[in-house]
Homo-oligomer: A and B are copies of this chain.
Amino acid sequence: MSVLRVAVAQVNTLVGDLEGNTELIAAAIDRASSADADVVVLPELAVTGYPVEDLVLKPGFVRASRAAVEKVAAGTGACVAIVGFADGDGDDVWNSLAVCAHGRIAGVYHKRYLPNYDVFDEMRTYRTGDQPHELYEIAGVAVGVSICEDAWIPDGPVTQLARGGARVVININGSPFRVGKDPVREQVLRDRISEGGVPIVYANLVGGQDELVFDGGSMVLDGRGEVIARAPRFVEDFMIVDVSAPPNETIEAYPMVSLTPARPAPRSGLEPRIVDELDPRAELWQALVLGTRDYVHKNGFEDVCLGMSGGIDSSLVAVLAADALGPENVHGVLMPSRFSSDHSVSDAEILCSNLGVEARTVPIEPAHAAFLEMLAPSFADHPADVTEENVQSRIRGVVLMALANKFGWLVLTTGNKSELAVGYSTLYGDTAGAYASIKDVWKTTVYDLCRWRNDLAGREIVPESVLTKTPSAELRPDQRDDQSLPPYDVLDPILIEYVENDRTVGEIIARDIAPPDEVRRVCRLVDIAEYKRRQSPLGARVSAKAFGRDRRVPLTNHFRG
């Protein structure tokens, strides 16, 4: 057996920041060289950040990507670097990796399987790789290289490489988080190993990028499918692993590029590190925190503000924001109206105090009165309805945006997935903001997360009264959510079937989770709220189907099935 010393640089790249990413990569190469690694592996499209979407349709962007990877390669020595970048030739662009060593690019691999479903649009921007397979001799070991989706295909490139002589296969990834995905990845790698029988080095990206959260969790599995190293998730990491490889075959099926010879003597063994798996709520919490932090910081902001209603949603978002950005960078804004209850104000104040975030109060009565006066001539003969409720919510939106504009903050919105689904929100009111931290979290999960976070803290951060009171928008006297919607423990299962599982109304009725009329009404609410969602801010995708790029339905849509 030969031993390949592999460094996995689980870095947090920045989309479009080719210079900064190149520095990150160069630092990883230096560190790997210092640690006497034979090869250092970076995530998918490390040079450009991931995903770059239509930026790669700019030929100048692709040229810059190629120039950046050439610069990276120029800085390499005997430690081989596997670096993702966008490669181009005329109008053709490939999602690629460069195998860099001895100051040059020794080979380039083009991704062969382009995901074009869910949040992925890679067939839009990239061509399918179709070069003949190649192997790379690193420290005497025949190594195959591949990119992300290539590892998900039965008898696909990873297996072909293993069968064609690779003794280790490296797979670089930009694999976004969703609840429950991590064990699926591990199973996929085990499936490939059961086909090809050689170790796989799985390097994943970490960090938030718009809707996506990349959770890291890079890992190395040996030739029997056992995990021999696993990096932590939701943080940057640098992991060094000695991978035992069987001897190269005498005759490889694929040509091999010789890079570095076998080490003369075995090195002292490294202690393997296998990070424990996360509790599902801890995993979700960390995803939401990382999504919020990276959106704010990567867009050049430090502070956020949010409207604090005293309800559970704004409470949760405030706690997440404090964890993500530090309480000193979070500004809670209480905007009581003539309909706000005393407990709403006091609950919001207690939460801000528990968290150590600013609580600023801006009563909205002056603007509320002014709008009613301005609209009175138009509304003279018309009874009050949801219009007047929306006006209050929009006044709050104006106040939050004014504070954000004046002080250079971002506004976080506080709507959850259940509200977003049925449109229980005011467009340009409570939907106004830059980032929607919990837009992909069902209301029932909002409660779970608050309780879990209180338990973690070992004290009451979210006041018990917030957890137990009846949800209300407080836009008219004695309003309660359940006057408009079924209870959330009935609503959420309907929504999960309709939104995430693509069931029709008829199929959901057949499941008997709610009366037929209720199911019809809820699904219809989902359809007609599409216009609100289309103008709402993005937020972390944490489910298998989030609103946003994950679910692209027409706004003009008469399907009622």
Contact = CB atoms under 8 A, between A and B. Distances in A.
Interface string A10-24: 000011111010000
Interface in A542-561: 551-561
Given A374-B364, A557-B16, A428 B61 contact: no
A558 to B, nearest CB: 4
Interface in A389-403: 390-391, 394-395, 397-399, 401-403
A122 to B, nearest CB: 10
Given A210-B554, A385-B406, 19 more contacts: A14-B556, A15-B556, A53-B553, A55-B554, A58-B503, A209-B554, A363-B374, A364-B374, A366-B373, A366-B374, A367-B371, A375-B403, A379-B406, A387-B405, A390-B405, A391-B402, A401-B427, A427-B432, A428-B432
Please give me the 7 A-B residue pairs with the lowest Cβ-Cβ distance, nearest first: A16-B559, A60-B504, A17-B558, A366-B370, A387-B405, A370-B370, A16-B558
A54 interface: yes
Interface centre among A20, A57, A391, A558 (most CB of B within 10 A): A558
Interface in A439-464: none
Interface of A: 14-18, 20, 49, 51-55, 57-61, 64, 116-117, 121, 123-124, 209-210, 294-295, 298-299, 360, 362-364, 366-367, 369-371, 373-375, 377-379, 382, 385-387, 390-391, 394-395, 397-399, 401-403, 405-406, 427-428, 432, 434, 502-504, 506-507, 531, 534-538, 551-561
A151 B453 CA distance: 58
A116 B112 CA distance: 17
A406 B391 CA distance: 11
A555 B535 contact: no
Contacts of A557: 15-16, 55
25 contacts: A15-B559, A16-B557, A54-B551, A54-B552, A57-B502, A60-B506, A116-B116, A116-B123, A116-B124, A121-B121, A121-B124, A210-B554, A299-B555, A362-B377, A363-B374, A364-B374, A375-B403, A375-B406, A385-B406, A386-B405, A387-B405, A394-B398, A397-B428, A531-B537, A538-B555
A390 B404 CA distance: 11
How many copies of this chain sit in the oligomeric assembly? Answer: 2
Interface centre among A364, A375, A379 (most CB of B within 10 A): A375
Contact of A51 (B17, B402, B554, B559): B554
A556 B209 contact: yes
A362 B373 CA distance: 10
A382 B561 CA distance: 55
A61 B374 contact: no
B559 A18 contact: yes
Interface centre among A61, A124, A298 (most CB of B within 10 A): A124
Contacts of A402: 371, 375, 387, 390-391
A402 B385 CA distance: 11
Contacts of A405: 385-387, 390
Contact of A558 (B20, B53, B54, B371): B20
A434 B391 CA distance: 17
A386 B404 CA distance: 11
Contacts of A52: 554
A57 B398 CA distance: 38
Contacts of A360: 378
Contacts of A209: 554, 556
Given A402-B371, A406-B379, A432-B428, A298 B556 contact: yes
Given A535-B537, A556-B298, A403 B378 contact: yes
Given A295-B556, A555-B538, A406 B428 contact: no
Contacts of A395: 398
Contacts of A378: 360, 362, 403, 406
A554 B60 contact: no
A53 B557 CA distance: 10
Contact of A210 (B299, B385, B556): B556
A374 B367 contact: yes
